[in-house]
Amino acid sequence: MLPRMALPDAWLPDDDPTLDDASDVLEPSAPKSRSQKKRDAAALGDIGLRLVGMHEAELAALPLDEELRREIQVCRSLTKNARSRQLRLIAKLLREGDAAPLAAALERSSHASREHVAAEREVELWRRRLLEEGDDALTRFIALHPGADRGELRNLVRRAVGASSEITRTRARRELLRAIRTLHPSIPAER
């Protein structure tokens, strides 16, 4: 890269007080392109759509101002064209405010949600293995989770597989799932 050369004073306008050094002349700030503005607007629209689809408890945890919360509530009750207009209003409110903290909070929330879904799948996979493979899967599960009660898990598996009524089998499968959740590090036991 070539060294930067200073401009002679004759090149700088004398009567403009906004220019205090040559950097403004050399590197003018580039305005956003139309495409970038459209991408930004679409991203804010997507954030607004996600906000409308969230549950109240999730919304309560986000840093939203009261006007935006109120407009999200209104949008939930609308249909078709009115909903589209309301979503545009929500995007406008996001554009006027600072959407960066909200986008970061949504990203953290979706990341935590993805982790939770992956952990739930793993728990469900272990339940299926225990039900299909029996004692072999139970031995592997106990090796991974030494604090597990082998007898309790074996009884739950037997009840889930060999119960005479469907209600008993379903209840035993649910109890087995709860027992596996209590042993999984990233999933709360009770939901």
Give pLDDT tens digits for 49-83: 888 888 888 888 888 889 999 999 999 999 889 99
Verify that 123 and 179 share a domain, yes or no: yes
Cβ(184)–Cβ(123) below 8 Å: yes
Verify that 118 and 170 share a domain, yes or no: yes
140 inside domain? yes
Residue 190 has what DSSP assignment?
-
What CATH code is carried by the domain that includes residue 65? 1.10.60
Q: What is the pLDDT of residues 103-113, one digit of tens each?
A: 888 888 777 77
19 inside domain? no
Tell me the pLDDT of the chain averaged across its residues. Answer: 81
How many domains are there within the chain?
Answer: 2
- Mean pLDDT within 113-121: 85
Verify that 78 and 134 share a domain, yes or no: no
Percent of the chain at pLDDT exceeding 90: 14
Domain range holding 42? 37-97
Verify that 89 and 42 share a domain, yes or no: yes
Cβ(183)–Cβ(122) below 8 Å: no
88 inside domain? yes
**pLDDT bucket at 99, cuts 50 / 70 / 90:** confident
